[in-house]
Chains A and B, each alone.
Chain A
Amino acid sequence: MNYKLLHIFRNTPFGRETFLQSLYFCKTINAHPVVYIPKTDKFLMYFSNDVVQVNLDNSFLASPDTAHEHVIALFDEAGIPPRFYEPKDFTASTLPDISSQFDYMCSPRSISDLSSKIGLGHLGPKVRRMIKQATFPILIASPVFKAWKSISVFFGGSSNAMNALVLGLKIAIASGFPLKIYTVLENNSEDVYRDMVRGSELEGLVDQYVNQWCFYESSGFDRMLYEVPHDSLIVLGAYGHGVIKEILLGSKMENIQSTVTNNLLVTGPNCRISLK
């Protein structure tokens, strides 16, 4: 299968880091990066029940004359044939529609939080809406290129977490890297979580590919984050709640991504992960 990852290229040193991350991700799991060099500071992505407008900051439009050659140079360095995405449809002349028919997408990190272009700022409502609607996982690249050597799945027992586990297994199978599961026990014993997996079709694969399953008490969330290796790809499920739900219920994903510097691969409630 030819998996494709959409990367929105930013022609700056920071953009190079995130693109290197996308290239590494694709090389590791045998996928193909498809690069979109934006010509406008916004674009739309249409999903089945929502349309998300992604607003880019001006750095995405920097030095358009060199962007193409920079991308090709990075592709060559990675030994991957370059591939570019050109939007065919436009909602308005300055508002291109970007296809949502990809298998992965690298989130343009600072799209909604200008105060933290390079730091670990909040993801903002747009990325959360994309996570909520997308049928593909979203890669939230670390701010500086970091080659990950293992996979860490955060498993809390929900259907989304089960999706994340499938994705983690898929990445582990494709990359050959070790896989660990991390679970915070919330009013349940370890056996409950193990039974969830046992009752699914994943039991055999979990036995084969999961190196370790780490459990933490409900107060051990921060300890768990610290114990995740710094060079591990974190795979987790998220609901992509809007602002109101985030205020009422809080957001674990926001908490995680503003705490760790790892690469994150996030699956949303509409994400379809198949092991085929």
Chain B
Amino acid sequence: MEKHIHRNTNHFHRIAPSTIWEARELLVHIMKRDLLVTYKQTVLGVAWVAIQPILMAYSIIFVFDYMGHFPDYGVPYILIALSALICWDFFSGAVTKGCTCLVDDRDLIIRANFPRVILLINAALKNSPGPFINLLVFAGFMMYLDMPFLVTFLLLPLVFLSIALLNLALSLWLGTLNVFKRDVGALVPYLLRLALFVSPVAFTLNSVPEQWQLIYSLNPLVAIIETMRFCLLGEQFRPELFCLLAGGFSLLFILLSGLYIFAINERKFADII
């Protein structure tokens, strides 16, 4: 077997799906590593995955139910908040990780040759048991509140897939930029806080003035969270087509541009990181 390595002239390094497929075992091991390492030496262990969203849900209930007023959707407010928090938790955890994952695994990048996109995929799926545990918690609340379980539950994998893709899209962008300038890492927590307020986590799309809804829906999280509510809580949350299209379009745009940004820079990582 003979192999030639040349100077890379166009700087574009295509990410072939086959290379990702071949590295799937590595992905599984890196995921396992991160999961094991995160909860080692904690008393509550993996239970933290479930405790965090419940605590957050209660703090939101407290703010809105006791201190402010919130429109009645015919559904207990905790379910509205919790359904969005399941998405938000998955999203924010992964994006935080996605931004720093390449720098965190600097050692691997400068000393081993493997498809680096694996690290970003791993980040995008960070804590992926989390959403499922959260869903169980949610189901518990639904039973407690005597809510019916809907057939639309079956659409949930699609919602999670969209979140994972959005995570990957943003991780490709932020992770790559963070390799070059660490300012990105310092900025991301604030951007996420901003994103929390401009996403319909504590409210729904209907609370946004009609003339702004289309532009607002360019935030892919809007379509994702609204679809999530539709799946879990039913008809009154059915997202409008324009909302899904706008969200899908911007998700695709961020993902493709992210892949491009990553691909033109991947081969420079080892020298710069």
Does chain A bind chain B?
Answer: no
Chain B residues at the A interface, C-beta cutoff of 8 Å: none
